[in-house]
Amino acid sequence: MRFKTLLTLLLAALLSGCTPPVPTAAPSAATAQPPAADKVTRIMAELASKPDMPQGEKISQISAAFLGTPYQADTLIGSPDTPEALVMNFSGVDCYTLIDYVQALSRSHDRASFQANLIRTRYVEEEVSYLTRRHFFSDWFAESPRNADDVTRSLSPRVVRVVKQLNRKADGIVYVPGLRVVSRSITYIPASAITRQVLDRIENGDYVGVYSPAEGLDVSHVGIAVRHDGQLWFRNASSLAASRQVVDAPFSDYMRLKPGIVVLRPLPLKSSRG
């Protein structure tokens, strides 16, 4: 409880669908807003008091403090014509910025390390620019430094493999101007194959993407698998009119009518290279 209270204080101190990715040109007055150092220090000290806490449990606990945070799209600053800025905006999140912040916090021990880990999480090769931003969920395991392992194939014998031309729409136009088209193999578990055995193999704190059959995209939405109250939940920044905030939805119910899932398992910081 004290952990969540401290993290809530941290969230309160910070300013703050998910696909397809689009350029965002924010007002020039908008800048990256770093968190208050004392609040970050306090929450990192709380994490340090539990050095043996598994990465997945850290992610579950940290993300719980975002429950109820309003959904807000296009908070990041950057486009082909607007210089990228490092944004730390906790008052409103979309599905991607939610997992960015949670992953970075789970790897950090103070304010400085949080900022460094947010850069490491959000940008390929830790270069803050619009074109090195991770615009696709699969960038989390395919680009360096890696944020996670793709464990989808290990969860079910009924996976489907599709080679996608990421960033290219059916009409040949790209989603993100200036970003190259990448041929990438995407493995997903169809909704009809999400059995009890699959659910049991998904771990607390795994990142889950909703597979997209659309050309040029890997997933249409992302969130976090969490376990509490005896069941598996999908914690996500929902853009649905009925929610418009970070919520927990029963995992099986949420995914029942979706095309399928891609499951990534977070890597500790020391394992993110290579």
Digit-coded pLDDT (tens) for 46-103: 677 777 888 899 999 899 989 999 999 999 999 999 999 999 988 899 999 999 999 9
Q: Is there a contact between 83 and 30 (Cβ–Cβ < 8 Å)?
A: no
Q: Of 226, 211, 56, which Cα lies nearest the Cα of 136? A: 211
CA distances from 214 to 17, 18, 139, 210, 223 (A): 15, 14, 17, 12, 19
Average pLDDT for 99-115? 90
Domain 2-132: state its class: mainly alpha
Instruction: Report H helices in 175-249.
Output: 196-201
Dihedral sign computed on CA atoms, order 117, 100, 204, 46: positive
Q: What angle do CA 201, 262, 235 make, to 5 degrees?
A: 75
pLDDT grade, residue 41 (50/70/90)?
low
pLDDT (0 to 100) of residue 244:
95
How far the first Cα of the chain sits from its last, in Å, is 37
Residue 6 has pLDDT above 50, yes or no: no
25: left (phi over 0), alpha (psi -120 to 50) or beta: beta
User: Model's pTM, two decimal places?
Assistant: 0.87
C-alpha span between 223 and 98 (Å, rounded): 8
Question: Start-end ranges of CATH 1.10.3670.10 in the chain?
Answer: 2-132
Average pLDDT value for the chain:
86
What is the location of CATH 2.30.260.10 in the chain? 139-267
pLDDT of residue 141: 98
Which residue type, as a one-letter code, is found at position 127?
E
Instruction: Report helix angle 2-13 to 55-64, nearest 10.
Output: 60
Q: By the 8 A CB rule, do 82 and 31 touch? A: no
Report the run of H or E that residue 69 belongs to, with start and end.
none
- With a pLDDT cut of 70, the percent of the chain lying above it is 81
Hey, what amino acid is at 84? E
**Residue 97: other Cβ atoms inside 10 A:** 24
139-267: CATH topology: putative xylanase like fold (2.30.260)
Q: Which candidate, 172, 91, 147, places its Cα nearest to that of 264? A: 147
Of 248, 225, 214, 236, whose CA–CA distance to 136 is shortest? Answer: 214
Given this model, what pLDDT does residue 176 score?
Answer: 95
